[in-house]
């Protein structure tokens, strides 16, 4: 049964082979189609009675192979072949003729014919089927290989940086990724000494690693920072028979994600520190005042309990913000009011506060965190010495908190580290919390001896209004 061109439109090809047979004898095209389709269920044949009609079929259908007679009116088989090659250079084309000669065969080969067959009875149809199947299979295999090569080339050119140098450090290969990243075209880099072609890596850790690979013969992988590009790179260097093959991958974003995870972990650690440290004081106040209510019946102590509970609630809200990695809520806060509020909430014993702060001085800060910083500094003065007075004042671009206690202890430990303390009952978290709060505001904290013999903390980078 013959299939019309319209019917072919609905044909689901999958691995099927669609053959265009061109011959000016309708009876022969019918016989060829019957034989090929009978020999192969996956083969379908479209017939045309001239080269011009054949070209029309080629433009309309996804033909896998062309089979053509030679001796036809109008364009002969060789002229048809030349026309097909101009438009479809890789399409299998078989010349199947009963009027050929060595001269015709020679001309066909020069015109890039895929195969040449003589019409010679029914056996020739079986041979034609085999040649068509082989030609199509070979072409499809070449197409798949070409796609794979193109995909590999795209990967090789665009995902990471690849370059190669010979034994004299002359660049022999430079891919498109490197060209885009560095701005140095392969035309300008290939053939040049590596350190001149890519001066950003000259006299850097990258050069040192590559020279080590060259001398040791070892394959090396390193993560390095390129100052000239302000970027982290992952370097893979492989010794080969004629030099080195080098792969570069930008891992700046990866490192930033790692740093962000580290910052989040630090926030969670800060939450744990604060839970164990800053919540303790208001809890003690609340418990103490409740005991007094039970002992004396004086309900006025409940005001202090309420204040302590309010302080704990504010602290819990701040901890939730910190744990969620939310940005600080920086607003204009009254410097003196925050200091006085922090003093009232802190366990300061018999110490006195002297605050040299002009009325109405405003600081750009998170109010709750700012107060928490002072509470920890005040309690540090009370818990780590015999201070009688604490001074708070303004600096150029910051402020200070100083006391007249026993001063900085002689220790090699960083007192801003979590868990480090010199107080008998200290937790070692107070100054770590101070530093964390300062860090959240992009401030710097420094500790030194005060003129009164105690400790002086200076916080800088502060914005005043």
Same domain, 464 and 363: yes
Q: Of 242, 332, 319, 306, which is closest to residue 276 (Cα–Cα)?
A: 319
**Lowest mean pLDDT, pick from 234-238, 255-259, 360-364, 440-444:** 255-259
SS3 183: coil
Mean pLDDT, the chain, whole residue set: 83
Count the domains in the chain.
4
Please enumerate in sequence order all residues whose Cβ is within 8 A of that of 448, keeping only pairs 6 or more positions apart, or say none.
408, 455, 456, 458
380 versus 167: which is more confidently predicted?
167
Separation CA 66–CA 303 (nearest Å): 99
Separation CA 222–CA 229 (nearest Å): 17
Other C-beta atoms within 10 Å of 116: how many? Answer: 19
Same domain, 43 and 115: yes
Name the percent of the chain lying above pLDDT 90. Answer: 46
* 394 DSSP β-pair partners: 399
Same domain, 105 and 168: no
Each residue's pLDDT tens digit, 201-224 = 999 999 999 999 999 999 999 888
461: pLDDT strictly greater than 70: yes
Distances (CA, A) of 299 to 285, 294, 305, 431: 15, 9, 10, 36
Each residue's pLDDT tens digit, 107-159 = 999 999 999 998 877 678 999 999 999 999 999 888 888 877 766 666 665 67
Same domain, 163 and 268: no
Same domain, 464 and 368: yes
Domain boundary residue, one of 326, 352, 379: 326
CATH of the domain at 61: 3.40.50.2300
Same domain, 90 and 150: yes
- Supply the pLDDT for residue 413: 44
47: pLDDT strictly greater than 60: yes
For strand 444-449 and strand 362-365, is the pairing parallel, antiparallel, or unpaired?
A: unpaired
- Supply the pLDDT for residue 374: 94
Same domain, 357 and 425: yes
267: pLDDT strictly greater than 80: no
Q: Of 208, 224, 218, 222, which is closest to residue 238 (Cα–Cα)?
A: 218
422: pLDDT strictly greater than 60: no
CATH of the domain at 317: 1.10.287
Domain boundary residue, one of 227, 250, 273: 250
Same domain, 216 and 273: no
* Mean pLDDT of the 70-81 span: 92
Same domain, 439 and 459: yes
- Supply the pLDDT for residue 323: 58
**Lowest mean pLDDT, pick from 55-64, 115-124, 173-182, 203-212:** 115-124
Same domain, 422 and 318: no
Domain that holds residue 42: 5-154
The answer to whether 94 touches 117, Cβ cutoff 8 Å, is yes
Other C-beta atoms within 10 Å of 12: how many? Answer: 5
- Supply the pLDDT for residue 317: 62
CATH of the domain at 192: 3.30.450.20
173: pLDDT strictly greater than 70: yes
- Supply the pLDDT for residue 436: 82
- Supply the pLDDT for residue 416: 58
Which of the four pLDDT bands, split at 50, 70 and 90, describes residue 87?
A: very high
Distances (CA, A) of 220 to 64, 82, 195, 226: 49, 55, 19, 17
10: pLDDT strictly greater than 60: no
Same domain, 214 and 294: no
Separation CA 120–CA 254 (nearest Å): 69
SS3 393: strand
Can you say how many angstroms the Cα of residue 266 is from the centroid of all Cα atoms in its chain? 23
Domain boundary residue, one of 326, 347, 382: 326
- Supply the pLDDT for residue 297: 78
423 versus 141: which is more confidently predicted?
141
Distances (CA, A) of 197 to 163, 192, 204: 11, 6, 15
The answer to whether 434 touches 360, Cβ cutoff 8 Å, is no
* Mean pLDDT of the 177-192 span: 90
* Mean pLDDT of the 372-385 span: 82
Q: What is the pTM of this model?
A: 0.40
In this structure, what token pair is assigned to residue 70?
Answer: 């030679």
- Supply the pLDDT for residue 384: 63
Same domain, 18 and 128: yes
Which of the four pLDDT bands, split at 50, 70 and 90, describes residue 24?
A: very high
- Supply the pLDDT for residue 210: 94
The answer to whether 368 touches 328, Cβ cutoff 8 Å, is no
- Supply the pLDDT for residue 262: 76
Name the percent of the chain lying above pLDDT 70. Answer: 82
- Supply the pLDDT for residue 326: 52
């Amino acid at each position: 049964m013959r299939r019309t061109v319209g019917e072919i439109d609905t044909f689901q090809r999958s691995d099927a082979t669609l053959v265009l047979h061109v011959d000016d004898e309708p009876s022969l095209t019918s016989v060829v189609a019957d034989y090929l389709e009978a020999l192969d269920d996956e083969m379908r044949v479209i017939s045309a009675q001239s080269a011009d009609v054949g070209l029309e079929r080629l433009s309309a259908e996804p033909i896998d192979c062309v089979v053509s007679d030679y001796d036809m009116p109008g364009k002969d088989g060789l002229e048809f072949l030349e026309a097909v090659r101009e438009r479809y250079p890789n399409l299998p084309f078989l010349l199947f003729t009963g009027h050929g000669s060595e001269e015709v065969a020679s001309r066909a080969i020069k015109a890039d014919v895929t195969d040449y067959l003589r019409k010679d009875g029914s056996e020739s149809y079986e041979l034609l089927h085999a040649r068509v199947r082989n030609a199509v299979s070979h072409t499809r295999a070449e197409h798949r290989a070409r796609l794979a090569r193109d995909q590999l080339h795209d990967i090789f050119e665009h995902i990471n940086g690849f370059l190669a140098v010979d034994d004299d450090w002359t660049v022999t290969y430079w891919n498109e990724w490197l060209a885009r990243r560095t701005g140095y075209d392969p035309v300008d880099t290939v053939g040049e000494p590596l350190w001149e072609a890519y001066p950003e890596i000259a006299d850097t850790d990258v050069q040192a690693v590559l020279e080590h690979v060259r001398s040791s013969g070892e394959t090396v992988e390193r993560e390095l920072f390129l100052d000239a590009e302000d970027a982290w790179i992952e370097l893979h260097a492989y010794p080969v028979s004629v030099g080195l093959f080098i792969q570069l991958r930008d891992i700046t974003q990866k490192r930033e994600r790692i740093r962000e995870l580290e910052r989040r972990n630090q926030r969670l650690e800060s939450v744990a520190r604060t839970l164990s440290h800053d919540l303790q004081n208001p809890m003690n106040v609340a418990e103490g005042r409740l005991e007094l209510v039970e002992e004396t019946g004086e309900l006025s102590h409940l005001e202090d309990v309420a204040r302590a509970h309010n302080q704990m609630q504010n602290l819990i809200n701040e901890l939730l913000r910190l744990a969620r990695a939310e940005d600080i809520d920086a607003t204009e806060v009254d410097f003196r009011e925050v200091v006085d509020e922090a003093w009232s909430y802190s366990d300061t014993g018999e110490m006195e506060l002297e605050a040299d702060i002009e009325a109405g001085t405003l600081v750009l800060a998170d109010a709750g965190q700012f107060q928490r910083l002072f509470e920890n500094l005040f309690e540090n003065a009370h818990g780590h010495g015999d201070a009688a007075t604490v001074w708070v004042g303004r600096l150029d671009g910051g402020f200070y908190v100083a006391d007249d206690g026993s001063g900085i202890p002689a220790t090699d430990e960083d007192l801003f580290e979590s868990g480090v303390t010199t107080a008998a009952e200290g937790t070692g978290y107070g100054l770590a919390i101070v530093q964390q709060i300062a860090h959240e505001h992009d401030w710097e904290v420094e500790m030194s001896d005060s003129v009164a013999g105690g400790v002086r903390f200076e916080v800088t980078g502060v914005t005043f209004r």
